Structure 1
Amino acid sequence: MPNRQDRLIQWLLGSVELQTSLFHLGQYCGSWQASTNGLARASFHVILNGDCWLHLPDAGHRHALKAGDTVFFLRDVRHVISPHADLQDALHAPRVSMAALDLAMPCSTALACGFFDFRTPLNDLFLSSFPDYVLASKERQELQEVRALFDLLLKEATAQGGAPSPLITRLVDLMFFYVIRHLCQRQEVSADLWAVLARPEFSVLFDAIVSAPARDWSVDDMANLTHMSRTRFFKRFSEVVGTSPSHFLAQVRMKLATRWIADGMSLSRAAESVGYQSDAAFSRVFKKITGTLPGAYRRASHTRERLRA
């Protein structure tokens, strides 16, 4: 049976609304460079065949990449992918168009690249505690799921036909979620909501809030649940999570509300379910946390569903 931390990780992953799009699929030969930065979007690169280098000029880092490796950029980070190990050679390499996939061609590198869009501002908020980029390899023993997903992705990418298979982005989604879950379990995250999972005393509190979001939670109630004095709880919570207990409570409540509204719950019922008797008060907090009003969020959710159908 999953423990409390695993249940909370699953809940958080289930609350992330992700839209993945494929930017280009193909291969490069000779001297080239590729990048998805500069568009203020999260992105990914999957190395389908061959090898290359990932350069991050601002950080002064570089990584050797090979077939089976995937890099996820959770934020818009300046980077360049190229066959050149030297940064200057990579930066001065030409930007050329991708050729069609032909894995039998020697000295070539095949890539699948695209973008992530997190559909609500809360998704950005919850993922803000993760590193700017994450490297995943099918060779890592602790990420066996990624190995199987990469093999499926490669099969879809090389399938004969016209347009790229829509399953490619779905498989990238799954790879992304497995990697994020791995980071949570390894506690490779900084302060914010996800950091709560690393502290047993705070994960108990989170579990209780999710189970009873309409409860009139006071700081004293939270402190008692964690067996701390009010002063010690407030100081420790703020240090670990990076925000006040009351703001954290509002974040969790609004996250629940967004899911229920998207599922068709009325705005008044959603407000009551997360502890607000006044629709106006609920709307103010919803706008403060998510950046949009509940009604606008509901209309946008319905539009997305119609487009998806």
Structure 2
Amino acid sequence: MIMIIIGPKIMIENPNILPKVDRLTAFFDAFELEASLAPTPMSNGRARLFVVGEPGGSAEKIILQPRGDTPPDGLALITAAVDFEGVHNPLMNALPDQVVVDVNNIPTLRDTTAAFMAEALESRCGRSAALNRLCEVIVLLILRSAIDRGATEPGLLAGLSHPSLHRALVAMHDAPTRAWNSDDLAATAAMSRSHFMAVFRNVVGTTPQAYLTGWRLVLARRKLAKGAKVKTVARQVGFGSTAAFSRAFFRKFGNWPSARP
């Protein structure tokens, strides 16, 4: 076990001894998920969820396509359109074009998919609400599986899969208004500052401060779209001034926040 002492802090570069943290809740809190049954031919750009298996049999795998309309590999017993704010949701944008999960490898996914199929095939009271909630659990389990498998390219998915870096990412997701500095984030990840900075850039593809600013702006755009005032939003997402927020917003999205609905 390697211990690095910096002032009063002790950082242990051994992620296996640290408790696990929740890497998904922030996304489900920040972005709304809706699902509806849809015919297979569909080209409106929404994400699609396919339940694949033999006719008359149980589900064998789930295919999530965050974007595009590539036909599934196998017979789709059920096709659902999923809106998890893909254009604005950085986690959905980080996924590959297709995520395939064998339902029999994850008992919870197998049981939830069975319930989803039962609701989809019958017209019962509360069907739409049930489909939404079951689909939310299915998407969550698929995202969990994708994070567990990791990613080969730098980005958010790779960062969430990293045994140490994901703690810093979760900290920023959960507390975006905090004045995070590199030392704080490195300590959260249980790494030395120099190692943290180098690994973060290599794995996530940007600097911690740039990522934090991007996350704050994504949250800000959602708040503005719901009618919040620019000054209020700037403060809510952790910017020191409205002017600084407006400039950062323009650099990222190409328009001023006052132009949002």
TM-score, normalised via structure 1 length: 0.62
Q: Is the 8 Å Cα contact of residues 195 and 241 (structure 1) preserved in structure 2? A: yes
Q: Is the 8 Å Cα contact of residues 138 and 147 (structure 1) preserved in structure 2? A: yes
User: Which structure 1 residue ranges, 5 or more long, are not aligned?
Assistant: 25-33, 52-64, 84-109, 300-309
Structure 2 residue 205 is the aligned partner of structure 1 residue 213: no
> What is residue 117 of structure 1 aligned with on the other side?
83
Q: Is the 8 Å Cα contact of residues 35 and 80 (structure 1) preserved in structure 2? A: no
Give, in angstroms, the shift of residue 219 of structure 1: 4.7
Q: 2:235 pairs with 263, 272, 279, which one?
A: 272
Structure 2 residue 71 is the aligned partner of structure 1 residue 79: yes
Other structure's SS at 1:153 match:
helix
> What is residue 16 of structure 1 aligned with on the other side?
31
Other structure's SS at 2:88 match:
helix
Q: Is the 8 Å Cα contact of residues 50 and 67 (structure 1) preserved in structure 2? A: no
Cα pair distance change 1:295/1:8, threshold 3 Å: farther
Other structure's SS at 2:127 match:
coil
> What is residue 199 of structure 2 aligned with on the other side?
236
Query: Which amino acid is 2:29 matched to?
Result: G
* CA distance, structure 2, for counterparts of residue 207 and residue 70 of structure 1: 27
User: Which structure 2 residue ranges, 5 or more long, are not aligned?
Assistant: 1-17
Give, in angstroms, the shift of residue 157 of structure 1: 2.5
Structure 2 residue 38 is the aligned partner of structure 1 residue 43: no
> What is residue 11 of structure 2 aligned with on the other side?
none
Give, in angstroms, the shift of residue 250 of structure 1: 0.8
Query: Which amino acid is 1:69 matched to?
Result: K
Query: Which amino acid is 1:228 matched to?
Result: S
Q: 2:103 pairs with 138, 146, 155, which one?
A: 138
* CA distance, structure 2, for counterparts of residue 77 and residue 270 of structure 1: 36
Q: Is the 8 Å Cα contact of residues 214 and 273 (structure 1) preserved in structure 2? A: yes
Cα pair distance change 1:72/1:210, threshold 3 Å: closer
> What is residue 127 of structure 2 aligned with on the other side?
165
Q: Which protein has the larger Cα radius of gyration, Structure 1 or Structure 2?
A: 1
Moved more, 272-281 or 219-228: 219-228
* CA distance, structure 1, for counterparts of residue 79 and residue 104 of structure 2: 20
Cα pair distance change 1:203/1:81, threshold 3 Å: closer
Give, in angstroms, the shift of residue 211 of structure 1: 5.6
* CA distance, structure 2, for counterparts of residue 148 and residue 43 of structure 1: 20
Give, in angstroms, the shift of residue 76 of structure 1: 1.1
* CA distance, structure 2, for counterparts of residue 224 and residue 158 of structure 1: 50
Give, in angstroms, the shift of residue 178 of structure 1: 1.3
TM-score, normalised via structure 2 length: 0.71
Other structure's SS at 1:132 match:
coil
> What is residue 87 of structure 1 aligned with on the other side?
none
Aligned length: 242
Query: Which amino acid is 1:40 matched to?
Result: G
Q: 1:198 pairs with 161, 176, 191, which one?
A: 161
Other structure's SS at 1:46 match:
strand
> What is residue 59 of structure 2 aligned with on the other side?
67
* CA distance, structure 2, for counterparts of residue 247 and residue 201 of structure 1: 19
Identity of aligned residues (%): 26
Cα pair distance change 1:46/1:252, threshold 3 Å: same
Other structure's SS at 2:49 match:
strand
Q: Is the 8 Å Cα contact of residues 151 and 157 (structure 2) preserved in structure 1? A: no
Structure 2 residue 91 is the aligned partner of structure 1 residue 126: yes
CA RMSD across the alignment: 3.8
> What is residue 142 of structure 2 aligned with on the other side?
179
* CA distance, structure 2, for counterparts of residue 134 and residue 183 of structure 1: 7
Cα pair distance change 1:246/1:160, threshold 3 Å: closer
Cα pair distance change 1:120/1:44, threshold 3 Å: closer
